[in-house]
Amino acid sequence: MASILVINGPNLNLLGTREPAVYGHETLADVERLCREEGAKLGVEVECRQSNHEGVLVDWIQEAGREIAAGRCIGVVMNPGAYTHTSIALHDAIKGAAVRLIELHISNVHARESFRHHSYISPAARGIIVGMGVDGYALAIQALVRLQDK
């Protein structure tokens, strides 16, 4: 069975308690359950990971690139959190590992502080889902399944 890797970056382990007016009341466990359920509906296995450490995220992206090249993985859904706005390393990892990646943000980053308006990830991403709440994860998984042969 093909797989999709869902990667959540820094502070997403605080979902449900961190700024619920912005990010909602769903926890990371709720998001992971939603992702696995959506994957099951579409016939793909979904693996979820979260780290607050940039280098770990880079390692996971490179690992996903190897899995994609081997035909075992369709792609990656990634909510890079604050690294969206700071990490050239994540951009380079996505490009260097040739990863089909959907960038995802729970909130509409373009309606927030100006420093959140720039993404280093977007130019390397296949697509972007912004501001759809945690339902965006299901949309991103659907997108990867639709894009797998393109």
Which CATH number belongs to the domain containing residue 137 in this structure? 3.40.50.9100
The pTM of this model reads 0.94
Tell me what pLDDT residue 21 has: 75
Give residue-wise pLDDT tens across range 17-65: 887 777 778 999 999 999 999 999 999 999 999 999 999 999 999 999 9
Instruction: Please give the pLDDT value at position 81.
Output: 94
User: Max alpha carbon distance in the chain (Å)?
Assistant: 41
Residues that constitute the known binding site? 79, 85, 92, 106-107, 116
Could you tell me which residues are annotated as the binding site for substrate? 79, 85, 92, 106-107, 116
Please tell me the predicted confidence (pLDDT) of residue 32: 98
Written as six digits, the tokens of 105 are: 């943000």
pLDDT of residue 26: 92
> Catalytic residues, which ones?
23, 105
Q: What gap in Å lies between CA 91 and CA 147, rounded to an integer? A: 20
* Of 148, 150, 103, nearest in space to 126 by CA: 103
Q: What is the DSSP string of 27-48?
A: -HHHHHHHHHHHHHHHT-EEEE
DSSP 83-94: GGGT-HHHHHHH
CA 27, CA 50: separation in Å to the nearest integer? Answer: 12
Amino acid in position 122:
S
pLDDT digits (tens, 9 = 90+) for 81-129: 999 999 999 999 999 999 999 999 998 877 677 767 789 999 999 999 9
Domain hosting 47: range is 3-146
Domain tally, the chain: 1
What average pLDDT does range 120-145 have in this prediction? 97
Q: In this predicted structure, what is the pLDDT of residue 23?
A: 75
CA distance 70 to 76: 15
Cα 135 from Cα 78, distance rounded (Å): 14
At 88 the pLDDT is 98
